[in-house]
Amino acid sequence: MNIVQPFFIGCAIWAYKDWIGDLFPTGSKSADLLRLYSRRLTTVEGNTTFYATPKPEVVARWAAETPEEFRFCFKLPREVSHSGPLVPQLPATHAFVERLAPLGARLGPFFLQLPPGYGPQRYDDLARWLAAWPSSSASASKCATRLVCARGEAQLMALLEQHNAGRVVMDVRPIREEGQDGAELLDDARERKPDVPLRPIYSSDFTLIRYIGNPDYTVNEPFLDEWAARIAQWLHDGVTVYAFMHCPDEARSPALCRALYQRLAALTTLPPLPWDEADGGSVEQTSMF
């Protein structure tokens, strides 16, 4: 099976000091972590923009420190997503996209995380907001949404397809399983993460996957096998996939990235993971857990 669309993999953050000595070389400085991260993994879920919009000089620095093939997938500010209806927040939406536009080709899809109370009754609001999504440049024309939709899923999917908007797929199954490691971290993650069923469907020519891994690596193995097979098929179907690997023990998230990438590479044609090239070869998965 041949890749016909790109595949991007990464974590929720890039500046995690406990990755020094693993993802990052020993002795790495905080100021160098984005540059190093972007030459080991290929995308990042920019969660910090949910809380604060970066200044223009920060955006310029991000562009200067990362290769053009790297992708930032920024979360829209809570001002937009958690202030009630979306339509009144269109000026803030456009201003946010414009602020990040200097990243150019480095901009992946934006991520709209809607609150639990935003349900099917606000379909028209979401439709109007998507219709007004800024599309002045190719790099700023895509948005993915995570919306728990117990009712009206067919209507939602039709709307997303109409606007080529992605649907974020969230997999929390691994943290519902018991493991040998990180019991307290698992309890906390189960409280914080929504207990939603896996809905592995896509609505556009791209999709975002949020995988919430178990600190016990062996628990993840069957789920990673399943996801590798599914992603290989989606890539074959022409879907661009952004996969974000989370773990209650954040120190283990990069190893989940490598484990999924290795499985996918065994099923289809992928270039070497930049991390492996930076290290001069792959590392045994078991050494990271």
How is the chain split into domains, by residue range? 7-288
Q: Which residue has the higher pLDDT, 127 or 195?
A: 127
- Cα–chain-centroid distance for residue 61? 21
Task: Tell me the average pLDDT of the chain.
Answer: 87
CA gap 232, 235 in Å, rounded? 5
DSSP states of 188-206: HHHHHS---------SSSE
What are the two backbone dihedrals, phi and then psi, of residue 125, each rounded to the nearest 5 degrees?
Answer: -65, -45
Per-residue confidence (pLDDT) for residue 283, from 0 to 100:
45
Tens digit of pLDDT for each residue in 64-104? Answer: 999 999 999 999 999 999 999 999 999 999 999 999 999 99
CATH fold of 7-288: TIM Barrel (3.20.20)
Residue 268 · residue 1 · CB < 8 Å: yes
Task: Check whether 141 has a pLDDT greater than 60.
Answer: no
- pLDDT of 285 > 80? The answer is no
pLDDT value of position 142:
61
Q: Model confidence over 212-248: pLDDT tens digits?
A: 999 999 999 999 999 999 999 999 999 999 999 999 9
What percent of the chain shows pLDDT beyond 90? 70
**What pLDDT is recorded for position 193?**
78
**The pLDDT of residue 139 is above 50:** no
Q: In sequence order, which residues have a C-beta less than 8 Å from that of residue 100 and are 6 or more positions away?
A: 49, 54, 59, 72, 74, 107, 140
Q: What is the pLDDT of residue 3?
A: 41
Burial class (CB in 10 A: 0-12, 13-18, 19+), 184: exposed
Q: What local confidence, expressed as pLDDT, does residue 280 receive?
A: 62
For 13-66, what is each residue's pLDDT tens digit?
Answer: 999 999 999 999 999 999 999 999 999 999 999 999 999 999 999 999 999 999
The whole-number pLDDT of residue 1 equals 42
Instruction: Give the pLDDT of residue 171.
Output: 96
